[in-house]
Amino acid sequence: MTHLDDSPTATAELLTGIKAVVFDCDGVIWRGTKVIPGALATVAALEAAGVAVYFVTNNSTRSRAMYMDKFAAKGMPHVRKDQILSASYAAAAYLQSIDFDGAVYVVGEVGILEELEEAGIPAIGGPDQPPMTLAELEVYKPDPSVSAVVVGADTGFSYTKAAIAQQYLLARPDNLFIATNPDTSFPTQGNFLPGAGMAVAAVEACASRKATIVGKPAPFLLHGVLDRLAASSSEPVDRSSVLMVGDRLDTDILFGSTV
């Protein structure tokens, strides 16, 4: 295998016409708690060659600020917030893009809540949603200020969370139903665990509705990358000048094919 940091010729050939490289994170930059060999050197080689680097991850459990801390801990303290486009950020940015002015019920973790808060969008639910009995759920009164449900990866996903999300989506058919991503699993060290797709599928089933996907493979975050490139370039940005590096055909590479 030829690594970019070992072969200037290979680097030049690969990067002909490329202005930016977009990396997935889980399974590409790191796997579980360990950095993948060669990942940091590859990113450094690209940056040294003047290529813009972005990180687009479907992991919604962290906010961009939390990801900055993780990158620093993995030996990449120079990674800026504007280089990170996470699925948690996608949910908040999408709602901002359509001038959403309601509150959100979140099935997910703190990453989504932090991004919604930064965007000035009120939210309830999240990891602190307490369990409820069937009797309590039968008389549950949806908060009238909530006009969207956002579902992402949730290690504490429960019947209660699915039931409450269902109530918001059935009570008002015009309420938005947003999913951060459809990934059925994510890689850990030597294993795979359920991804956001598990919770998304459950809520879709009980609400009899399909969610709007804002993370990969949907093109929403690609527009974010292109907007950032355009803002830092004096020349028009061609989609073909963006290269995607990922480990999943159904999300990363499908996302990259929209380039």
3-state secondary structure the chain: CCCCCCCHHHHHHHCCCCCEEEECCECCCEECCEECCCHHHHHHHHHHCCCEEEEEECCCCCCHHHHHHHHHHCCCCCCCHHHEEEHHHHHHHHHHHCCCCCEEEEECCHHHHHHHHHCCCCEEEHHHCCCCCHHHHHCCCCCCCEEEEEECCCCCCCHHHHHHHHHHHHHCCCCEEEECCCCCEEEECCEEEECHHHHHHHHHHHHCCCCEECCCCCCHHHHHHHHHHHHCCCCCCCHHHEEEECCCHHHHHHHHHCC
Looking at 5, 6, 26, 252, which residue is catalytic?
A: 26
Check whether 238 is labelled as a binding-site residue.
no
Our CA angle for 19, 22, 27, nearest 5°, is 150
Active site residue 143: no
Check whether 24 is labelled as a binding-site residue.
yes
Q: CB atoms < 10 A from the CB of 204, how many?
A: 19
- The upper half-sphere exposure of residue 147, i.e. CA atoms within 13 Å in the direction of its Cβ, equals 8
Looking at 5, 24, 227, 238, which residue is catalytic?
A: 24
Active site residue 24: yes
**Known binding site for substrate: residues?**
216
Provide the annotated active-site residues.
Answer: 24, 26
